[in-house]
Amino acid sequence: MSQRQLSAPAAANFSASAKTSARSWTTRRACSLLSNVRGKWACRQCETLTQAPVPAQVIDKGIPTAGLLAHVMVAKFADHLPLYRQEKIFGRAGLAIPRSTLAQWVGQTGVQLQPLVDVLREAVLAQQVVHADETPVQMLAPGEKKTHRAYVWTYCTTPFCALKAVVYDFSPSRAGEHARNFLGNWNGKLVCDDFAGYKAGFEQGITEIGCMAHARRKFFDLHMANKSQLAKQALHSIGGLYEVERQAKDMSDEDRW
């Protein structure tokens, strides 16, 4: 576009203003090389050599920093990005990181995080009321061409608890022994569905609290299928319980009980 300058008399007839527009942009992911320079000293009399210690690392003598390991773990477990896709993404950024190396990083990082998981489990099981549920996931075992169904068990505190915590426990099957191994000697109140895998714990002192959301689902499906009036009445009654729960949400523990 050509630009034209106005003479002083002509410019006096115009008022100037500026309009700003913003656009989003992104740059190619960059990876930086972190170099640690450690001082080294030698005694002139006894010739004893002293060197600054190596900074603590998640993987001993490993190349990846804690930030890179956190990126891989979050991408895999929070963003559900498989390692073979991460390998390609790193490759487009000019980083040749084989999938086997990424898998080793994930395993070693998991070992280092296990103490934190153990403390989180203790914090959840210190509560008198815990919610539990299990979700199927597809797992591909080494050497097998087909996936099979595994499970991630979820244990969390209640919405009324000051501590907001969730623990995920992976297992290759839905056997009830996995829930019993996680709960151990805990004998509080367990909010769950009617899955038979929890029943053995109820015989050992755990108090069963049926999950109303799971119970409501059956009535909802029945009402949607054939417009059952009995199911409609049940849904209305459950809705009343939900309203009581909403009213009690902001109450103290003493008032709620």
Full-model pTM: 0.74
Return the closest-CA partner of residue 62 out of 7, 118, 94, 108: 108
The pLDDT tens digits of the residues spanning 86-98 come to 999 999 988 899 9
Average pLDDT of the residues in 10-34? 59
Q: How confident is the model at residue 182 (pLDDT cuts 50, 70, 90)?
A: very high
pLDDT the model gives residue 26? 45
What are the start-end ranges of the E strands in 43-92? 49-51
| Contact by Cβ (8 Å): 207, 188 | yes
pLDDT surpassing 60 at residue 243? yes
Domains in the chain: boundaries: 61-125, 127-210, 211-257
The C-alpha angle 111, 116, 209, rounded to 5 degrees, equals: 115
- Who contacts 64 (Cβ-Cβ below 8 Å, separation ≥6)? 58, 72, 105
